[in-house]
Amino acid sequence: MTALLASVRSNDEALDAARAGADLIDLKEPNAGALGGVSTGDIAWIVRELRARYPVKPISATIGDVPSDALDEIAARVIEVSDTGVDYVKVGVTGGPAARRCLEQLANLPAAVVPVLLCDGGISGGMRGGMDSETVAHAAALGFVGVMFDTWAKDGSTLFDHVDTNTLAGWLRLTRARGAMCGIAGSLGEAQFEQIRALAPDVAGFRTALCVDGRRSRLDPRRVAQWAEALHRRSGGLHATDVAADSFEAGAARA
C-alpha cells in the first residue's frame, strides 16, 4: 500500500486532511516556494492540536527553500523545526557539487531528516542539472529514515517529466534496499495515477491535486479522501468515491 502524504499550510487544513484519511500530514507554505516553511510557532501549535486528536499519525515539516550549499542555515533550520515535535524534517537537496556535503551534514544532525532530492535542478539550477544516480546512491547509503523525490519548479511539469519511470524505479529500489522508506511527489495528479501505482512507493505526496483551485488555494478534504482510497486499494482507478469526477479533473489539470 502507498501512503498518502497531504501537504497542508494551517491547523484547519491539517485536521481536515487527517479526518479525510491522509496517512502523513506534511506542513509547508505553498506561497513561500516549493518547500516553503511554516513558522516554527505555527508548526508547534499544529503538532499539539494534531497529537491531541491523532496521537500516532506521523507529521513532517519542511525547513523552507534553502540552497544546498547554505550549510549553516540548513543546520539551524533543521534543529528549529525538529524542536517543534514533528516526526520528520524535510530538506530539499539540489543535484550538483553541493549535494554530497549537504547530505552528509544532514545525516549527522540530531533530527529525523528526510532529504527531498529535487529532480528538476532545484533552487539554484532551474531546469538544468537535475538529480543523478550517484547522489541518490550516496543519500541511500547514509542511513536516513526516508528519501523523497520531488521537483522544485511548480510550472506545470511533473516529476515524471524530469525522471523516466525506469530510472525512478531503480532509485526507489535502491532506497528501500538500504532500509529507508521512499516517497515521490512533484505536481502529481490523476494523469500520473497509473505510474504511481506501478512504482508503488511507500509514500506519495500531494498538494495541488488535493486543493480546490491550485496549490495555493484551500485543501479539499473530499479530494484527500478520494486519493487516500485510491492509493490504498490493490487495484482499480481513481474515481471510486462519491467525489464528482468533473470537479476533480478541473483541479488535477492545474497541477
Q: Where are the beta strands (DSSP E) in the chain?
A: 3-8, 24-27, 59-62, 88-94, 113-118, 146-150, 181-184, 203-206
The pLDDT of 196-206, averaged and rounded, is: 98
pLDDT single digits (tens) 47-97? 999 999 999 999 999 999 999 999 999 999 999 999 999 999 999 999 989
More confident site: 244 or 111: 111
Catalytic residue among 2, 4, 18, 28: 28
Cβ-based neighbours of 134, under 8 Å, separated by 6 or more: none
The CB density around residue 24, as the number of other CB atoms within 10 Å, is: 23
The CB density around residue 53, as the number of other CB atoms within 10 Å, is: 11
Catalytic residue among 77, 90, 207, 223: 90
Tell me if residue 90 is catalytic.
yes
CA 232 to CA 2: how far, in whole Å?
Answer: 6
Asked which of 19-33, 44-58, 167-181, 231-245 is least confident by mean pLDDT, the reply is 231-245
- pTM score, two decimals? 0.91
Cα dihedral 69→126→217→61 (10° resolution): -20
Tell me, what's the pLDDT at 245? 39
Tell me, what's the pLDDT at 237? 67
What is the CATH T-level fold of the domain 3-252, as seen in this structure? Answer: TIM Barrel (3.20.20)
CA 194 to CA 166: how far, in whole Å?
Answer: 14
Flag whether pLDDT at 236 surpasses 80: no
Strand partners, 182: 147
CA distances from 40 to 82, 89, 119 (A): 9, 12, 27
Tell me, what's the pLDDT at 18? 98
Cα 57 to its chain centre, rounded Å, is: 16
The pLDDT of 172-188, averaged and rounded, is: 97
CA distances from 3 to 67, 106, 213, 222 (A): 28, 24, 23, 17
pLDDT single digits (tens) 104-141? 999 999 999 999 999 997 654 443 458 999 999 999 99
The pLDDT of 23-42, averaged and rounded, is: 96
Flag whether pLDDT at 243 surpasses 50: no
What is the domain partition of the chain in residue ranges? 3-252
Tell me, what's the pLDDT at 252? 37
CA 172 to CA 113: how far, in whole Å?
Answer: 17
